[in-house]
Amino acid sequence: MTVVSVRHTIDHGAEVIRAEAAALTMLAGRLDADFSHAVDLLISARGRIILAGMGKSGHIARKIAATLSATGSAAYYLHPGEASHGDLGMMRSGDVLLVLSNSGETPEVVAVLTHAQRLAVPVIAMTAGANSMLARNASITLALPACGEACPEGVAPTTSTTMMLALGDALAVTAMRKRGTSRNELAHWHPGGRIGWGFQALDALIRRTEPLPLVRAETCARDVVLEMTSCGKGVAGVVDGAGDLIGVITDGDLRRSFDRMLLAVAGELMTRDPVTITKDATVDDAIARMQENKITVLFVMEKAGSRRPWGLLHIHDLRLGA
């Protein structure tokens, strides 16, 4: 492949991204009171939110349903093609129906709309067809701007589905904010993967069977090194007579004080008022604190205000699957 060919390929890819980005900017500028009403309708639903769409719109509807559920709005996808064969029984009075169709004329959604009207289920339409069959049968219409598809023939759903996806995210996140969904609720809904790991409390990670590397201020440098080596985390905490943490000594502190190693004691080598964290903080909290303070080890306290070490965390302990 020639350099010119590579350049043309890159330019074509960038052209698609720029076209879709421009469409998203246009979409954001056209949000109006109907968007706000749609969010209120989602929040006030006594039942669940039903997403429906065919083809590529159906794939986007599935993703929006997942995002709504993950942010506090219970939702599921209803396939319009299966709906007429018994799946309409999923819909109940009190639900809200969100139908995606770029043209607004998708014939398979007619049965879904008819059943929604029978149950007095309000319908939110997401479509570029402002005067379409779907829009005429909807309680609220979220109109997509008339932007051509990014494919060279203007046929394959690309720009339209990108706008639908972004508009679905906007509905879900705005509803989440307006509802006041808490961090704890998100943790309950995301117990697996990276999200679940980040929400995990630190006390679940700390091995309490391992002794903490602690020394007194008068401990000689040689014994500090031995204590640090025994724990394998490259740190020793310095405690006072009451057992409260007054400083920490890291490998870096030892290197910087190498010329005083034969005579120095822990109190002379330590960094005072070390950064700590409580055991009820999350993995994400600990990572953020380490990054903010440019450190790799944190002493963990049992509760806020306490200075007595309860545990110890190294950045490696916070890796998913560690």
Structure tokens at 241: 């007579």
Q: Which residues, in sequence order, are CB contacts of 101 under 8 Å at separation 6+?
A: 53, 54, 57, 109, 125, 126, 127, 129, 132, 134
Average pLDDT of the segment spanning 294-303: 90
Q: What is the pLDDT of residues 50-65, one digit of tens each?
A: 999 999 999 999 999 9
What residues form DSSP beta bridges with 75? 49
Domain map (residue ranges) of the chain: 3-181, 202-318
Share of the chain above pLDDT 90, in %: 56
Question: Is 322 a residue whose pLDDT tops 60?
Answer: no
Q: What is the pLDDT of residues 83-108, one digit of tens each?
A: 888 889 999 999 999 999 999 999 99
Arithmetic mean of pLDDT over the chain: 89
Question: Is 132 a residue whose pLDDT tops 90?
Answer: yes
Report whether 97 contacts 50 (CB < 8 A).
yes
pLDDT band at 189 (very low <50, low <70, confident <90, very high): low
Average pLDDT of the segment spanning 62-85: 92
Report whether 312 contacts 299 (CB < 8 A).
yes
Structure tokens at 59: 């794939």
The fourth-level CATH superfamily of domain 3-181 is: Glucose-6-phosphate isomerase like protein; domain 1 (3.40.50.10490)
Share of the chain above pLDDT 70, in %: 93
Q: By three-state DSSP, how is residue 143 classified? A: strand
Question: Is 145 a residue whose pLDDT tops 90?
Answer: yes
When the candidates are 1.10.150.120, 3.20.20.450, 3.30.70.580, 3.10.580.10, the CATH number that belongs to 202-318 is 3.10.580.10
Q: What is the pLDDT of residues 217-236, one digit of tens each?
A: 999 988 988 888 888 888 99
Average pLDDT of the segment spanning 103-126: 95
Same topology, domains 3-181 and 202-318? Answer is no
Regarding predicted confidence, which is higher, 53 or 8? Answer: 53
Written as one string, the DSSP assignment of 197-252 is HHHSBGGGT--TTSPP-EEETT-BHHHHHHHHHHHTSSEEEEE-TTS-EEEEEEHH
